[in-house]
Structure 1
Amino acid sequence: MGILFQIVLASAIRLGLIYSQYRQIIQDRVEVSTILNSWKRMTEGAALYRHGISPYAGDIFHETPLALVLCDFMIRRLPDFIGVVYVAVDVLAGLTLYFTAKSYMKELERAQKREKKKYAADVDNLLLHRNDVDTSPKYVLAAYLFNPYTILSCVGFTTTTFANLLSAALFLTMCRGWRLASCAFLALSVLQSLYPVVLLVPLCIYTCRDSRRRPLAVAWTVTAFAALFAAALYLCSAISGDWLFLRSVYNVILTVTDLRPNIGLFWYFFTEMFEHFRLLFVYSFQINATLLYLAPLSLRFHSDPMLLAASLTALVAIFKSYPCLGDVGFYMALLPMWKHLFNSKAVVPDMQQSFVILCALVITSVLGPTVWHLWIYSRSANANFYFGVTLAFATAQIFLITDVLFAYIKREFTLANGIIKEEDKAKLRLSLE
């Protein structure tokens, strides 16, 4: 399927849903819209802004002033073409990921040529072939444009669509070595939700990898990011006229003051726990979403910063305080860049849980709205049922990430040491010496 055909078909699907009777239903789904990306809250904030009332004085609006200005511009200048703007932004995000995948696959091909002399003799089936290099970017584009999660996020007019474009631009500029542009896109991503700050580590790895003065390159990158982020904050304060937006945007993310249900893990725990344990669990959950996996993954996968960035993005999408399906769809679109890990020709397949994970994701995606209806409308279920589905959904994603990372490690080991034959497995023993 050609790229142009994919773009036209994906745009038609999105526009058809946007201008149908189902758009409002999708927009109101808790799996799609949260307090941080809801279009309804954006329009309310823009209305207050136009009447000279600060939208950050209450507890309705939690977007940045830059997003507020953009939303106000679309409502005033493009009221009949907002859907077209969202579709264009979403398609542009998919195309950006396509070019990211093209750059990354060429990077993998060059790395394989450099390391091929060190590989074992019987690993030809595990090598990256020209077909993988050519087809992976197309699969990435298709995985983003036709992923139901990203489609629903676009149709629901969530600001996650714009966040995905920023993240895609960050991945592209990072992969191509455009340091200043990478720092700018990272600053804008962090400005919106804070959590992408963990991507500063793979960005620093990329910038210092080809530099002779690595400490200086890292210091330059960190300084540039900090300066651009500070400039973005100052611009936001100039737009809003004060610094109240810091409380409305970032305090609600860090302290989880709003406990409306979503596909994350925060809301149920903080609803059920005793208040005097709240601070402990806030620290525990936020550390788990940001710093806990940063050091071990960075140490292990520093040789492949793109895989590191994708893994950190996926973990943030699972463990952040207010996740949505658009976040999940974005990192899933990156996975075809490692399609060679799905190698069925190997004696021991690299990824062994793909079918189980796929079934779990499909089942939980269907059960979520079903259980929500039983809980909210039929009153024949309760919050435990819905949280059970979201917990299973998060577990399936965790299995997906660990399966990809373990497959990557296993492939690296096999390339270096050769494939272990069946008759040799009996001779292997576990030694604790």
Structure 2
Amino acid sequence: MAASLVLALVVAVTVRAVLFRSSLAEFISERVEVVSPLNSWKRVVEGLSLLDLGVSPYSGNVFHETPLILYLFHFLIDYAEFVFMATDVITAVALYIAAEDFNKVVFRKQRIAFEFQKYAPDIITLVRTPKEMYHIPLKVALFYLLNPFTVLTCVAKSTCAIHNAIIAIFVLATVKGSAFISAVFLALATYQSLYPVALFAPALLYLAQKHYILVNLHSTTFLVLLLKYAVMFLGCLMVTICLSFFLLNSWSFIPSTYGFIDHPMFFMFVQLAIIAIFKSYPTVGDVALYMAFLPMWNHLYRFLRNIFVVTCMLISSSVLFPVLWHLWIYAGSANSNFYYAITLAFNVGQILLVSDYFYAYIRREYHLVEGLNLKSPDGKEAHVVLK
């Protein structure tokens, strides 16, 4: 598997290097779908120029990046292309290792559930097997490395790639159970953009579960959180809900917090999607990050209802973005409403994607406990209707 990952990294870096040397690089760096005033490389260069002239980059309305990015590229401006390619490699490797460790946690939870007869006897087809999950880490890395959205973000030298790397390392540290490193990179991610503060709750949940799952493997206690930590985690969740509500205006955060307390990794995936959808200046790089997690939920495919419609919406919207922009800005045969409408369609597609996975996850968890062959009280076949 390591050889496959190295080969994927080589191919991904080669594709990026070729595009960096092509005439498309400048065109991509100007695309509004790929860069925004908050992460554009052009704004970074302007900020560095102002800094060299002794003028504060923040004195006007040109530079919006953090001082960390400003001083980072003050020393690495000549190696910018290498930095962005290395950033994508780091992100992919972090996601790969996180997916590997997550697989181990999944198997541990399944084993405990079977030992204590938590699952119904007829759900063998829903159980995740080592053969099924063996290739998931590589698929996660490929979904990030070879995603056109990721490639465009890297070639445009959008600092969104750096944001994604910070969040990926945060996820890795969380899955590994390192509370200190997780907190450091969550703070960095929040420093770069206020929105990742919403990942605070799923990180705490995963760190808590990482602790008591490992404890329960060597004891007779079944999935019981130590009482001395219960008040702390509950209080942190309440604070995070309030922060998310006021800072993100994300109404879906509150029910998701309560509905996925036992599934923090999926909760983290949902929160990354919500962050990407509700950002003030969203770009395709934000979308690429949470889409890299989709192979981790391949066991939900049988319960997805709208995947064909969602796929068509996302692909058609991605194709129409540059077309409608050209008609509006250059051809003059359209107006801003055309581009605004396709942006809404793209976001609706993302919302349908996340809600479909949301439904599929709940449906699978229900069948794991109640069984696949459901019967009504009178003995007839029953059907599940989730409202």
Pick the TM interval, shorter chain: 0.7 to 0.9
Aligned to 1:2: 4
**Alignment partners' CA distance in 2, 1:198 and 1:172:** 17
Residues 140 and 295 of structure 2 are in contact (CA less than 8 Å); yes or no, is this contact kept in structure 1? yes
3-state SS, counterpart of residue 135 of structure 2: helix
**Alignment partners' CA distance in 1, 2:357 and 2:32:** 28
Q: TM-score, normalised by structure 1?
A: 0.79
In structure 1, stretches of 5+ residues that fail to align are 223-284, 343-348
Matched residue type, 2:98: T
1:395 aligned to 2:354?
no
Residues 208 and 217 of structure 1 are in contact (CA less than 8 Å); yes or no, is this contact kept in structure 2? no
Aligned to 2:179: 179
Aligned residues with identical type, % of pairs: 38
Alpha-carbon spacing, 1:403–1:220, altered in 2? closer, same or farther (3 Å): closer
**Alignment partners' CA distance in 1, 2:266 and 2:48:** 38
Alignment of 1:207-218 (within 5 A): 207-209=207-209, 210=212, 212=226, 213-215=228-230, 218=233
Task: Tell me by how many angstroms 1:189 deviates.
Answer: 0.3
Aligned to 2:191: 191
**Alignment partners' CA distance in 1, 2:14 and 2:4:** 15
Matched residue type, 1:73: F
Alignment of 1:152-163 (within 5 A): 152-163=152-163
Aligned to 1:330: 289
Alignment of 1:31-430 (within 5 A): 31-75=33-77, 79=78, 81-116=79-114, 117-209=117-209, 210=212, 212=226, 213-215=228-230, 218=233, 287=246, 289-342=248-301, 349-420=302-373, 428=382
Matched residue type, 1:90: D
Matched residue type, 1:9: V
**Alignment partners' CA distance in 2, 1:340 and 1:324:** 28
Alpha-carbon spacing, 1:182–1:290, altered in 2? closer, same or farther (3 Å): farther
Q: TM-score, normalised by structure 2?
A: 0.88
1:92-112 residue CA offsets vs partner (Å, 9 max, x unmatched): 101100011111111111111
Alpha-carbon spacing, 1:115–1:55, altered in 2? closer, same or farther (3 Å): same
Residues 373 and 381 of structure 2 are in contact (CA less than 8 Å); yes or no, is this contact kept in structure 1? no
Residues 374 and 383 of structure 2 are in contact (CA less than 8 Å); yes or no, is this contact kept in structure 1? no
**Alignment partners' CA distance in 1, 2:5 and 2:34:** 27
1:349-377 residue CA offsets vs partner (Å, 9 max, x unmatched): 21122121111111100011111111111
Matched residue type, 2:347: A
3-state SS, counterpart of residue 118 of structure 1: coil
Residues 207 and 218 of structure 1 are in contact (CA less than 8 Å); yes or no, is this contact kept in structure 2? no
**Alignment partners' CA distance in 2, 1:46 and 1:425:** 73
3-state SS, counterpart of residue 377 of structure 1: helix
Task: Tell me by how many angstroms 1:214 deviates.
Answer: 1.1
**Alignment partners' CA distance in 1, 2:124 and 2:111:** 13
3-state SS, counterpart of residue 39 of structure 2: coil
Aligned to 2:25: 23
In structure 2, stretches of 5+ residues that fail to align are 213-224, 238-243
What's the RMSD between the two structures over aligned residues?
A: 2.5
